């Protein structure tokens, strides 16, 4: 068991609260035989029903109950303090109780931004603060300024050495600085805190002494990219904690602490994860959509939910990652650097045949996919169907998707990729390959799929004229009461398809096996062409 696991165990079992109560009892009673006294106290704990029933004054005699609790009744605080933080003046300061936020006013929304050193926390935090009119706190900068202004103070000189070697600053020192800074912001609607917490113990302490955050943004970035960014920043800014030795130590600390920290916030439904190994504007676009959905869900919707067709809401714009990489994964599968979020499944997926089926509405994709599944034992995946299934669930992700759609915005591409990955992994044990219908919708989707999963073995384009597709759709509309296609709506759908598909087809023509199938013929004629194309990859 590592240090963080031990701290988390003690906190969850309310052991710190028990110790505080016992200490208060000893200080007030001053028994001649402290061992016998403690034994009697522990027996009382059993009679009460466990540690969670113990309060700070459980063992304080009635006449002395006017005394304040040893640390204000905050159960985990003193016990989880870093051992190096033993300065008596700070301990006295911590014992003094105060409310961080005015209880008579609405509490500001709190967003915590976490990630590895060099993941872009500062940049994204500032962008969030600017977009929403929030205040910004950089915990690292807060500590550096304190060190600079109190360089002659022995305690802060020691903390400066700790930070310079890449270690974490003492926990309660950091919490105290954050609390004091927050108290200087009494009228803010929201606050973005960059670079905190760094481990589960800090998260617990933050919740105990300040509040539960409204949202935690986690920036996942490849280890190599983090190193490159830190070395570049060291050259440009000359920060003392960006030296090579400290950088290696900070990365090691991050890797050790991030997985349990992300899992902790994920269990509380507070965290959203983003692929930070991309352009900063792309990352911020994703974050802003998530913040809108999570913190401001009551904005007037741009379209009624009953008017929304998931298959028409797929994003053909920027690629994003919404943070479901950690859904239902164990620690051994959770890669905090974002390099392989599917654990050991990536190599298994690459061994499977992957076929993309591109075609406009009315080109016959659905009919042909059913026939191909029957012949070859493929798993047919439709992005529209996956999206509809997700919306019918009660997951956190479904709430995010619904919020986006109800505002009339397109479902982010990262959401679709996550749904595809999960569906593919679920079918790995009983399939001969994947037939993915209607994907990708634009080149960046294909690039991201190739990077995260692998390039397709075959791309099939169902080549069909607009007149033929229009006639088929109108005929289907007349025979199906559920379909309300008319010439105008069909024309819009075809225009959307052609605009998106032309660059996709051009991209795969130069990259992989692309077969254009003449989809004008009978279903039987088209199927024979498809079989010839698929047989070529076996």
Reported as a single tens digit per residue, the pLDDT across 284-305 is 888 888 888 888 876 543 333 3
- Rounded CA-CA distance 164/73 in Å is 34
What is the dihedral sign for C-alpha 375, 376, 379, 383? negative
Contact, 319 vs 413, CB < 8 A?
Answer: yes
* Residue matched to tokens 């079989």: 531
Q: Which strand ranges, in their side-by-side order, compose the sheet holding 458-463? A: 379-382, 433-437, 353-359, 458-463, 514-518
Four-residue CA torsion sign, 426, 429, 431, 432: positive
The per-residue pLDDT for 307 is 39
Indicate the SS3 state at residue 413: helix
Query: Is 449 buried (19+), middle (13-18) or exposed (0-12) by CB count in 10 A?
Result: buried
CA–CA distance, 290 with 132 (Å, rounded to integer): 13
- pLDDT at residue 525 in the model: 93
DSSP single-letter state for residue 168: P
Angle between helices 487-509 and 443-452 (to 10 degrees): 50
Contact between 85 and 173 (Cβ < 8 Å)? yes
Least confident of 79-93, 354-368, 475-489: 79-93
Looking at every residue in the chain, the average pLDDT score rounds to: 75
**Residue 528 — very low, low, confident or very high, per pLDDT cuts 50/70/90?**
very high
pLDDT(449) > 60: yes
Q: Is the pLDDT score of 520 beyond 90?
A: yes
Reported residue count of the chain is: 538
Q: What is the pLDDT of residues 149-193, one digit of tens each?
A: 666 666 666 666 665 655 656 677 788 888 888 888 878 899 999
Annotate 197-246 with DSSP letters as a single string. --SHHHHHHHHHHT---SEEEEEE--HHHHHHHHHHHHHHH--GGGSHHH
User: For residue 152, how many C-alpha atoms fall within 13 Å in the half-sphere facing its CB?
Assistant: 0
pLDDT in the model for residue 403: 75
Alpha helices in 435-486 (DSSP H): 443-452, 466-479
| HEC string for 12-57 | HCCHHHHHHHHHHHHHHHCCCCHHHHHHHHHHHHHHHCCHHHCCCC
pLDDT score recorded for residue 302: 33
Rounded Cα gap, residues 366 and 373, in angstroms: 11
**Mean pLDDT calculated for residue range 79-90:** 41
pLDDT score of 128? 92
What pLDDT, on a 0 to 100 scale, did the predictor assign at position 150?
A: 65
Distance (Å, rounded) from C-alpha 15 to C-alpha 76?
8
What digits encode the pLDDT tens for the residues 40-79? 999 888 888 888 788 777 887 654 444 444 444 444 334 4
Q: What is the pLDDT of residues 18-35, one digit of tens each?
A: 887 888 788 778 888 889
Q: Tell me which of 533 and 333 has the higher pLDDT.
A: 533
Nearest Cα to Cα of residue 383 among 281, 334, 310: 310
Report the side by side order of strands in the sheet with 215-220: 135-138, 190-194, 109-115, 215-220, 271-275
Of 7, 18, 10, give the one whose Cα is nearest residue 49: 18
Residue partners of 519: CB distance under 8 A and separation at least 6: 359, 363, 364, 462, 463, 464, 468, 526
Instruction: State the chain's maximal CA–CA distance in angstroms.
Output: 99
pLDDT for the residue 92: 35
Given this model, what pLDDT does residue 193 score?
92
483: pLDDT confidence band, cut at 50, 70 and 90? low
Cβ(76)–Cβ(204) below 8 Å: yes
Q: How confident is the model at residue 103 (pLDDT cuts 50, 70, 90)?
A: confident
Above 60 in pLDDT, residue 313?
A: no
**Omega prior to 440 cis, within 30 of 0:** yes
Cα-to-chain-centroid distance, residue 407: 21
What is the pLDDT confidence band of residue 484, given thresholds at 50, 70 and 90? Answer: low
411 DSSP assignment: B
DSSP state of 305: G
**Does position 312 have pLDDT exceeding 50, yes or no?**
no
Tokens of 44: 């009382």
Confidence of residue 231 (pLDDT cuts 50, 70, 90): low
Cis peptide before 197 (omega within 30 of 0): yes
What DSSP character marks residue 153?
-
The per-residue pLDDT for 376 is 92
Q: Are 435 and 369 in contact (CB under 8 A)?
A: yes
**Which H or E run includes 260?**
helix 244-267
Percentage of residues in the chain with pLDDT exceeding 90? 16
DSSP state for residue 436 in the 8-state scheme: E
**How buried is residue 123: exposed, middle or buried, by Cβ count under 10 Å (0-12/13-18/19+)?**
middle
d(CA 409, CA 303): 9
What is each CA distance from 407 to 130, 148, 403, in whole angstroms? 22, 47, 6
> What secondary structure does DSSP assign to 346-404, as a single string?
HHHHHHSEEEEEEE-TTSSHHHHHHHHHHHH-PEEEEHHHHHHHHHTS--HHHHHHHHH
Residue pLDDT, tens place only, 402-425: 777 776 667 777 788 888 888 888
Rg, C-alpha atoms of the chain: 29
- 221 falls in which pLDDT band (50, 70, 90)? confident
User: Which residues are within 8 A (CB) of 308 and not within 5 positions of it... i.e. 6 or more apart?
Assistant: 405, 406
CA 87 vs. chain centroid, Å, equals 37
Does the CA dihedral 243-273-335-451 come out positive or negative? negative
- pLDDT of 121 above 70: yes
State how far the Cα of 420 lies from the Cα of 439, in Å rounded to an integer: 10
Which pLDDT band holds residue 341 (cuts at 50, 70, 90)?
very low
């Amino acid at each position: 068991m590592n240090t963080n696991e031990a701290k988390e165990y003690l906190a969850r079992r309310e052991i710190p609260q028990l110790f505080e109560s016992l200490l208060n009892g000893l200080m007030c009673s001053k028994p001649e035989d402290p061992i016998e006294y403690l034994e009697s106290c522990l027996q009382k704990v059993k009679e009460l029903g466990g540690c969670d029933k113990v309060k700070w004054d459980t063992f304080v005699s009635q006449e002395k109950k006017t005394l304040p609790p040893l640390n204000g009744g905050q159960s985990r605080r003193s016990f989880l303090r870093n051992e190096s933080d033993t300065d008596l003046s700070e301990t006295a300061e911590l014992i003094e109780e105060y409310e961080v936020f005015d209880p008579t006013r609405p509490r500001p929304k709190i967003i915590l931004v976490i990630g590895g050193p060099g993941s872009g926390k500062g940049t994204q935090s500032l962008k969030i603060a600017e977009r929403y009119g929030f205040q910004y706190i950089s915990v690292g900068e807060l500590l550096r300024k304190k060190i600079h202004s109190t360089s002659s103070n022995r305690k802060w000189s020691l903390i400066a050495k700790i930070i310079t070697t890449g270690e974490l600053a003492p926990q309660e020192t950091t919490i105290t600085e954050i609390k004091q800074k927050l108290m200087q912001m009494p009228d803010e609607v929201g606050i973005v805190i960059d670079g905190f917490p760094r481990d589960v113990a800090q998260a617990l302490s933050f919740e105990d002494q300040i509040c539960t955050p409204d949202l935690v943004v986690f920036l996942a970035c490849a280890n190599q990219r983090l190193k490159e960014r830190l070395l570049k920043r060291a050259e440009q800014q000359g920060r003392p904690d960006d030296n090579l030795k400290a950088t290696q130590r900070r990365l090691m600390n991050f890797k050790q602490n991030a997985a349990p920290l992300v899992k902790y916030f994920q269990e509380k439904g507070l965290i959203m994860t983003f692929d930070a190994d991309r352009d900063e504007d792309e990352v911020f676009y994703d974050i802003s959509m998530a913040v809108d959905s999570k913190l401001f869900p009551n904005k007037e919707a741009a379209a009624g939910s009953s008017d929304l067709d998931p298959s028409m809401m797929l994003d053909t714009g920027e690629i994003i990652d919404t943070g479901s990489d950690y859904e239902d994964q164990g620690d051994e599968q959770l890669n905090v650097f974002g390099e392989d979020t599917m654990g050991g499944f990536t190599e298994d997926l690459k061994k499977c045949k992957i076929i993309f089926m591109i075609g406009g509405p009315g080109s016959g994709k659905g009919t042909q996919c059913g026939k191909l599944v029957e012949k070859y034992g493929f798993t047919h995946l439709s992005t529209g169907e996956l999206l509809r299934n997700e919306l019918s669930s009660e997951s956190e992700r479904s709430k995010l998707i619904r919020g986006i759609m109800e505002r009339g915005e397109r479902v982010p591409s990262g959401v679709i990729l996550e749904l595809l990955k999960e569906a593919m992994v679920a079918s790995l044990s009983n399939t001969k390959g994947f037939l993915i219908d209607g994907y990708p919708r634009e080149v960046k989707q294909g690039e991201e799929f190739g990077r995260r999963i692998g390039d397709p073995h075959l791309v099939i384009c169902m080549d069909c004229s607009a007149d033929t597709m229009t006639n088929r759709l109108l005929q289907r509309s007349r025979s199906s009461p559920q379909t309300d296609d008319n010439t105008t709506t069909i024309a819009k759908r075809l225009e959307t398809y052609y605009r998106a598909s032309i660059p996709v087809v051009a991209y795969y023509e130069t990259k992989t096996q692309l077969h254009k199938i003449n989809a004008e013929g009978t279903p039987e004629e088209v199927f024979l062409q498809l079989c010839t194309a698929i047989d070529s990859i076996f």
